[in-house]
Structure 1
Amino acid sequence: MKKLIFACAALLLLLNACKRDEYYRDGGLANPNFNGNMLQYLQAKKVPFDTIAQIVKLAGMESTFSNEDFTFFAPDDEVIKKTIGTIRTDGLNNFLFYAGKDTVKTLDQISPLIWRRYLQRYMFKGVNRLKDYQQIDFDVKSVYPGGLYYSFGGNISNIGVTYATANNIKYIGYRQLNLTYIPDPSKPNDNWYINKVASSDIKPTNGVVHTLAYNDTRGGAYFGFNESDFFSDVYFGGLASSNSSK
């Protein structure tokens, strides 16, 4: 009888271990497949990607998001809301108002080239899932450094996976994918804009999507990570007339 109990216990442990390994390999237990292309995925998930899907169109990148294979770290609509802001809150409109410029009323007033430039900071060549990235430990980057990647726009980011502590043992817990924007390539270890991924390995018919967790901190709250870059480009590029007013 004891042998039977031990055998059953061993089988349960083995099954649990297999499930845990499957979780780590797939980046999550939920079905990651979406029956449609990447743009259709963003359009279908109106919360939180309705505005991001609109920006894809404003940037003239519908074909890229519908047909090409690449890795997209998707910011959510709250990032755009925070970036544009109002004249009373931190954001582009506050910056423009106090600079004596017209403020943004609709997103189509901003140049398609600017939308494209900053959208491309979230786009990377290849179809890379969580399992394809190196480990990173932000406390000991010399040991676990993650990896450096060029975005579609030529900007450099570090992408890596942190391994959590479980039962007081380092690196055996859940895995967290991170996208870190590096503003100055000549100083690749300075002034990092760290963004955690909320949900990884979403697989439409083209490419793969990792959704970024919104955080109201430096680098996470603004489109393109570094708000001064975006604000300056809009300031010097000027605003077009809104299509809604035509």
Structure 2
Amino acid sequence: MVKYIVIIMVILSLGACETNYGTINTGLADGNFDGSMYEYFQAHHYDWDSLVLMIDRAGLKDVFTGERAGYEKITFFGPTNNTIRLWMYKSEQHWDPDLKQMVVTKKAYHQVDEIPVEDCRRLVMEHVVKGVYMRDDIPEGTLSEAGAREGGTTLTGVEGNSFWIYSYRGQYQGIQGQGAVSLKLVSEIGQEIKVASSNLESDNGVVHSLHYDYPLGTL
């Protein structure tokens, strides 16, 4: 009996060692989806349900099916359900020196239908870049603790928001620079944003899933 318990514990420990908590489960074995980007989002409810609702509310479906002129091929840096819901449920306020009181700048929403249509459109489209940029298209770069940038490149979303993006190799067995290639973004306001899963290809472009802790609206 003791022998079987030990075997089970070893199996469980091996499984735990291979868990990557920084990676979003895309549901794709090879990163390719046979269909449009919109259909990919629909097929993977766990991460993309709220995004689909925002796309529909803003009338942007044809952007993600490749049917809108000028958007036949796109790269999407995708905010997932966790990011969208955290943004929805949180109200924001600031001190108004003239009124001498706190003023609500964003109220909390309980469902996507409560978000103003224009806000839905802006929040979705600022993550869209025209053309296809795969992970290997992004130059290597470094970002120092002091914020100094080296390498990488700058991309511009269709809302006019620019961000710096670079690729880098993480750790493998404790050795820096020997791991898998990952992407990181830095927005115009200095927000660092990790890409959890990259190169999710569909018929009309590629999705790079942003990490769950990405604060929506800071790209």
Does 1:79 find its partner at 2:83? yes
Query: Which whole-Å CA distance do the structure 2 matches of 1:108 and 1:143 have between them?
Result: 40
Confirm or deny that 1:147 pairs with 2:153.
Answer: yes
The 4+ residue runs of structure 1 with deviation greater than 4 A are 98-103, 140-143, 165-170
- What amino acid does structure 2 have at the position aligned with 1:155? N
Measure how far apart 1:69 and its partner are: 0.8
Quote the Cα distance in structure 2 between the aligned partners of 1:166 and 1:107. Answer: 40
Instruction: Give the TM-score taking structure 1 as reference length.
Output: 0.65
CA contact (8 A) 1:117 1:153 kept: yes
- Superposed CA deviations along residues 161-206 of structure 1, whole A, max 9, x for unmatched, are 11224577653332111122213xxxxxxxx211111111011111
Aligned residue runs from structure 1 range 41-190, under 5 A: 41-67=40-66, 68-85=72-89, 91-92=90-91, 95=93, 99=103, 104-139=109-144, 144-166=150-172, 170-183=176-189
- Is the partner of 1:48 in helix, strand or coil? helix
Gaps of 5+ in 1: 1-28, 86-90, 184-191, 227-246
1:64-84 CA deviation, whole Å, 9 max, x = no partner? 101121000111111111112
Q: 1:106 Cα shift?
A: 3.1
Return the alpha-carbon distance in structure 2 between the equivalents of residues 180 and 30 of structure 1. 29
Return the offset for 1:61: 0.6
Identity among equivalent pairs (%):
28
Indicate the SS of the match to 1:32. coil
**What TM-score does the superposition give when structure 2 sets the normalisation length?**
0.72
Over 3 Å counting, the alpha-carbon distance change for 1:105 and 1:95 in structure 2 is farther
Alignment size in residue pairs: 178
The structure where helix makes up a greater share of residues is: 1
User: Is the Cα–Cα contact under 8 Å of residues 72 and 124 in structure 1 kept in the other structure?
Assistant: yes
Structure 2 distance, partners of 1:73, 1:168, is: 29
